[in-house]
Structure formats: structure tokens, C-alpha cells
Structure 1
């Protein structure tokens, strides 16, 4: 088996694309698809063993991949990593700012330290990566950046710290798109809704009932999305087909923000999930839950 991409073979031949948080979940899936489409992919993350596993997978599938282990929140490490990547790879044509994370908590229980840690992960670290890729390469050569945010529309109860960080990334994307346009750099964002990735398994077992009984029933398409459905959007925003798109956010969320409670949601639907990622597995917390 190989990745079942809807895009043309060889779409990214000759390009080097950097994917942060590439050791698991959406980042891992996207790295696989980009490599399948001919890109030289560089994945980053904090845990080298996770990166090594993905490098082994992509290499086994015939793709070209390298890895760098560092923390995007550490400015000195991030700056040095971009410099090192450019020395070894020669260029960075695309950046997918995927690394992030949070924990479920009411605002009243979030400490200042916890709040700042989540914002630094989901906003400051992404900013450092954007700035360095731009200053060290894209300012003189052009390129494309895609920042992954989240379904933050209308507030995000239980995830207020992450919503603050990702909301900041949303407006940062719009600002950078304008400031960097003269250099031929496109900057967009992608906002996933509930996606059946390994990220779900970072939550406690008690959250499984929440996902099944509260989250999924208010999704108009009545299922969670797949990693491949997010990767397809990211690939599109990096591709030549998106050459006139900058400063926008692509929502991939099954219509979740559009439901306001006044319209009855039917049960089954006829929008089967796109399952292009041949190595994808259903997160344990969603075991037995329909993905369409």
C-alpha cells in the first residue's frame, strides 16, 4: 500500500517542505502525503524517537525525508534549527506550522503558568518558526506557509488557553500575508474541527464519553474527520492551484461552527470519510465511533 492522494504524482518534486510536529497525528500524515507527491520533507518535533519512526515509515514507502529534534518554543534552538536545515537542504519552499497542544480545563482552573505555556506552544513557537523561515530564506526566494489553528469560532469553552493562542495565530496569519506578499510569500491557515488523530489519545479516558455523546452529535456531517482530509487541505494551500490565495483560513470541520441548536441534525449522512492515509489508525478513545 502507498498513500492514496487525490493530487497529481510529482506535484512537489524539487521542493523542500518543513512540517513541525511531524512525529504524530496530522503532521505525520501530511509528511507522508507530501513525500508521496515528491517533496523532500523535513519533520520536526521534541522527541527524536517519534521522528525516527516516521522517517522509517516514509523511507520504507519510498519517500525522501529528514528530521530535526528541537522545541519550537525555545527561540535559540528554533533559530539554529532553521539555519542548520538550510545549510543541509539548501532551501525551504514550504512551512506547515503544525506543532501545538493543550489540555482540557475551565478557565477558572488554568494557572498563569499553564496559560502561558499553551499560548507559547500554539502561538509564540509558530511565530518564531514563521519569522525565521521568512528572514533566513523566503524573504529573498518566496514560498508558502500554512499555520494550523483550530475550531475557535464563537469561543472555545474548556480550551480557552488554546483558543487564545490559536486566535492569535489566525490574526498573525492575516498580518503576515500582507506584510510578506511583496516577497512572494503566501501565508494561510487551516482550522480543523474534530479529527480522528492520535491527538485524541492525549486526553483522559473520561473524555471518551464527551467525544461520543456531546461533540459528535453537534457536527452537521455527524462524524469526525480524518487526518487525510486535513492533509488534503494543507497540500492544496501549498500547491500552485492556491497561487492567488493568501491571508485566509480554510475550515475543515464538518460544518460544526454553523450549528446553533435551532436546526435538528439528522442521523446518518452520505458523506463518507476520505481515507487516503494508508497507515492511519483510529485513536483508542474513539474505538467503536463511526468516522463515516
Structure 2
């Protein structure tokens, strides 16, 4: 049976419970697979029970342990109840991967208040609620690690200003939580992926769909990242090896956020992806 090709030692997370929000697709699906392959009991959550069930079926077929719970992280009462139910059923959660989110492309002048607030709720408020409830209901007593999902916002995010604002907020929230919760043995970090070949790319239409296959031309490594490269960084931040790392946002973008447009990129593409995810699927837009 083909298995996840993790760089981390087998059994690294055995006996631990780890929770991945947005675990029904994309990067969250990949992270859930790697955590399970390393021995963790994985909880995946999201709004669609069908998507969660499909991923859970994959993980169980690979010999992993997984449980699902469907609710909306933007609903405060649902988050409180969802966290309580998971803790009652599975015991303390050692790690939270705050992966759930979503956005739509639009220039600032075309974003309504409702649209802006929906994206902020998806990418910032919901993650805050998950962090807060797991801390107050569990990690304050037992310790743990949180890895938040942000994005490449360092030079603004033209065309997705609502997401950029939310993602920058999450990076700042990560620093605050890392400081406030350190006394309890809780570490809080974030990852900021750049252009990653993931199923989320297939949700875009119009001009964005046309642009996506060309994005690698603007990455110094001359390629897009793959889901396993994000997952490996997340697992490291959850692992004992990162015991003295907290409050950081780790860029995973092939240096795309660095440099200047006036400095030419090299023409060769020598970088090879770490292709650890045995069930990875190439987005339709890149085929």
C-alpha cells in the first residue's frame, strides 16, 4: 500500500490528537493525511460533511485514525459546542491547524461591506474563535501548539484586499497569542503559503483562471509549490523540534515575495518539489 512519504520519523505523533480545520480539501486534506501517517488521531472539520467523509475514507484506507465534525467556524456557539464535543470524545487536543478559509478575487472598489466582512470572518474571526476555545477549554491546562494559515500579504494583496487584510490580521494575532499563552506551554505560529498547486485554484474563474498557469513565471524558484511542502512546514511547527519557536509567520513562497520587478529572474527551473503526498491531485487549471 502506498503511504504518505513524510520526512518525519514514523510514530512521531503517536498518542496525540491533532485538529485540522478545512480538512475536506486542498492543503488541509494533505496536512490531515501527513498527521495521520505520523500516528496522530486526526480530527478534520469543515462545513461540508460529504467532503470530510471522502477525506476520512482515504485516511482510513491508508491505515490512519480520523474523525470528522461539521460546523461553521464563523458561528461562535457552534465553535464552542464543537470543541467541547471533540474534547469529550477524544481527550486533549495537542495541535490545531487553523487552515479553514476562503476568498474571492475583486478590486477594492468592487467589494461590498458584506463581502469584506464574509472574507474576514472566514480567514480571521473563525480562526480566532477556534484558537480561543481550544485554549480555554483544553490547552490552558494541557499545553499544545497552534499553526495558523495566512498568505503572502507582505506587499499588500491587490485584487484581494479583503483577504490580505484578514491574513495580515491573523499574522498579528499569532504574535499576540504566542506572547499571552506562552506561560501555559502553548506555542502559536503561522505559515504564509505563496502560490501552491492545490484544489483551491479550481474555485477561481474569469481573469484569475487565465492568470493562474502563468504565476510560476513570477517565482524565483520558477515553479509553484505543492501541498506537501506546506504540510511539512506545518508538521515541523507542531513537532517537539519547534519547542522554542513561537510567534513567527513562516513564508512558503519560493521567494516570490522578495526582490524587485527591475531585477530579472533566472530562466532555468532547477528547483524540484518535495512530492510527499501520495494522493495529491493536480488542479484542473494547471493541466
TM-score (norm 1): 0.97
Query: What is the aligned partner in structure 1 of residue 46 from structure 2?
Result: 45
Aligned-pair Cα RMSD in Å: 0.8
CA contact (8 A) 2:220 2:256 kept: yes
Query: What is the aligned partner in structure 2 of residue 151 from structure 1?
Result: 152
Query: What is the aligned partner in structure 2 of residue 199 from structure 1?
Result: 200
Give the Å deviation of 1:263: 1.3
Rounded to whole Å, the distance in 1 between the matches of 2:209 and 2:197 is 12
Query: What is the aligned partner in structure 2 of residue 251 from structure 1?
Result: 251
CA contact (8 A) 1:219 1:259 kept: no
Query: What is the aligned partner in structure 2 of residue 136 from structure 1?
Result: 137
Give structure 1 stretches of 5+ with no counterpart: 288-292
Query: What is the aligned partner in structure 2 of residue 165 from structure 1?
Result: 166
Rounded to whole Å, the distance in 2 between the matches of 1:88 and 1:47 is 21
Query: What is the aligned partner in structure 2 of residue 232 from structure 1?
Result: 232
Structure 1 counterpart SS, 2:191: strand
Query: What is the aligned partner in structure 2 of residue 280 from structure 1?
Result: 280
Query: What is the aligned partner in structure 2 of residue 73 from structure 1?
Result: 74
Query: What is the aligned partner in structure 2 of residue 222 from structure 1?
Result: 222
Query: What is the aligned partner in structure 1 of residue 128 from structure 2?
Result: 127
- Give deviations 1:238-273, integer Å, cap 9, x for gaps: 001100000001110000110311211122222101
CA contact (8 A) 1:191 1:250 kept: yes
Query: What is the aligned partner in structure 2 of residue 290 from structure 1?
Result: none
Rounded to whole Å, the distance in 2 between the matches of 1:68 and 1:241 is 29
Rounded to whole Å, the distance in 2 between the matches of 1:66 and 1:171 is 31
Rounded to whole Å, the distance in 2 between the matches of 1:225 and 1:170 is 21
Structure 2 counterpart SS, 1:86: helix
- Give deviations 1:79-122, integer Å, cap 9, x for gaps: 10000000000110000000000000000000000000000100
Structure 1 counterpart SS, 2:133: helix
Rounded to whole Å, the distance in 1 between the matches of 2:49 and 2:140 is 30
Q: Equivalences for 1:73-112 in 2 at 5 Å? A: 73-112=74-113
Give the Å deviation of 1:212: 2.6
Structure 2 counterpart SS, 1:201: helix
Rounded to whole Å, the distance in 1 between the matches of 2:102 and 2:213 is 21
Rounded to whole Å, the distance in 2 between the matches of 1:86 and 1:17 is 11
Rounded to whole Å, the distance in 2 between the matches of 1:163 and 1:67 is 29
CA contact (8 A) 1:220 1:259 kept: no
- Give deviations 1:172-194, integer Å, cap 9, x for gaps: 00000000000000000000000
Structure 2 counterpart SS, 1:164: helix
- Give deviations 1:145-164, integer Å, cap 9, x for gaps: 00010000110000100001
Rounded to whole Å, the distance in 1 between the matches of 2:117 and 2:206 is 26
Q: How many residues align?
A: 286
Q: Greater shift after overlay, 152-161 or 197-206?
A: 197-206
Query: What is the aligned partner in structure 2 of residue 241 from structure 1?
Result: 241
Query: What is the aligned partner in structure 2 of residue 260 from structure 1?
Result: 260
Give structure 2 stretches of 5+ with no counterpart: none
TM-score (norm 2): 0.98
Query: What is the aligned partner in structure 1 of residue 176 from structure 2?
Result: 175
Structure 2 counterpart SS, 1:190: strand
Rounded to whole Å, the distance in 2 between the matches of 1:17 and 1:170 is 21
Rounded to whole Å, the distance in 1 between the matches of 2:219 and 2:114 is 33
Structure 2 counterpart SS, 1:135: helix
Query: What is the aligned partner in structure 2 of residue 270 from structure 1?
Result: 270
